[in-house]
Amino acid sequence: MTQYIFRRLIHSILIVWGCATLVFFLIRAIPGDPVVQMLGTEYTPEAADALRDRLGLDEPVLVQYVRWMGNMLRGDLGTSITGAESVGDAIVSGLPKTLSIAIVAFIIAIVIAVPAGVLAALRRNSLADFVVSLVAFLGVSMPAFWFGIILIIVFAVNLGWLPSLGYASIGEDGFVEWFRHIILPSIAVGAGSAAILMRFVRAGLLEVLSSDYIRTARSKGLNERRVVVAHGLRNALIPVVTVAGIQVALLLSGTVVIETVFSIRGIGRLLVGAIFDQDYPMVQGTILVVAVIFVLANLIVDILYTLLDPRISYD
């Protein structure tokens, strides 16, 4: 396992490097000139040339690439072109907000999906199965931004229970305020993932419960709860873990819209603004961080395989 993890880490570094390189050149292929946008009505050819020289944008692209890679290896992601803000500081400020939404959304999805999927599998073709399947269909069909707006109208505007906008830090405002600000966007993002995971839990458990070893366990007189949880659910979760790893990526991408709806300046909103402004360093830095998170999520999924099924070995 140790050798496998080491090999995966090497592969992950190569993947992140390839992603960073691809983004570096693709962002420069977008039509438009960030210098012109920055100068606005004060644009003159002389001012544009001076600004390009100060930002290093007048150098060949390969020279810019080598300089950026060298700075990145030293931990320097550069400075925002439009805001003169350190990219690293902006990411450090925005990343906890995005991860808070994604992590809480993932927990909500798991807490909803596993019990609902088990219930639907054990009550196959019953009213409970029909209701759970209907709710799952609605969850997949609802756009996250639309569901977020509905949550704001119901719980923030009409009932006044929760805040509709902004983000509260745990360190500065406490856990309660942090949770009150993060719960609505997390539900909006996690609802779709819960529906998808529920369907996989149901399908996987139905397949496992029809296996010979489950019938053998029941014939030995084992408690039904132990049969379902210890023998059935554990094996049914292997494909669910695979989908859950993909859902992490989808949750991070879903926060892009949700952060705009709830006015939270996380990584997603930072990235969208940087793309519109053609802020090369900010786009490169944020996507680099997101790529690292995706790669680590896939590595964690592979490790979880061996914990769920001892027969799986990477040695």
Q: Which domains occur in the chain, in start order? A: 2-73 (no CATH), 90-308 (1.10.3720.10)
Q: Which residues contact 126 (CB under 8 A, 6 or more apart)?
A: none
Alpha carbon 243 to its chain centroid, in Å, reads: 13
Contacts with 252 (C-beta within 8 Å, 6 or more apart), sequence order:
98, 102, 267, 268, 290, 293, 294
pLDDT (tens place) for every residue of the chain, 315 residues total:
677 677 778 888 888 888 888 888 887 777 766 766 666 666 677 777 776 777 677 777 788 888 888 888 887 777 777 777 788 888 888 888 888 888 888 888 888 888 888 888 777 778 877 888 888 878 777 888 888 888 899 888 888 888 888 888 887 778 888 888 888 988 888 888 888 888 888 887 877 777 766 677 667 666 666 666 666 666 777 777 777 777 777 777 667 788 888 888 888 888 888 887 777 888 888 888 888 888 887 777 777 766 666 555 555
Q: Taking Cα atoms as reference points, which of 111, 114, 304, 112 lies closest to residue 204?
A: 114
Q: Contact at 8 Å (CB) between 35 and 55?
A: yes
Confirm if 237 and 204 have CB atoms less than 8 A apart.
Answer: yes
Counting DSSP H helices and E strands in the chain, the numbers are: 14, 0
Q: What is the pTM (predicted TM-score) of this model?
A: 0.78
Residues 6+ apart with CB under 8 A from 47: 39
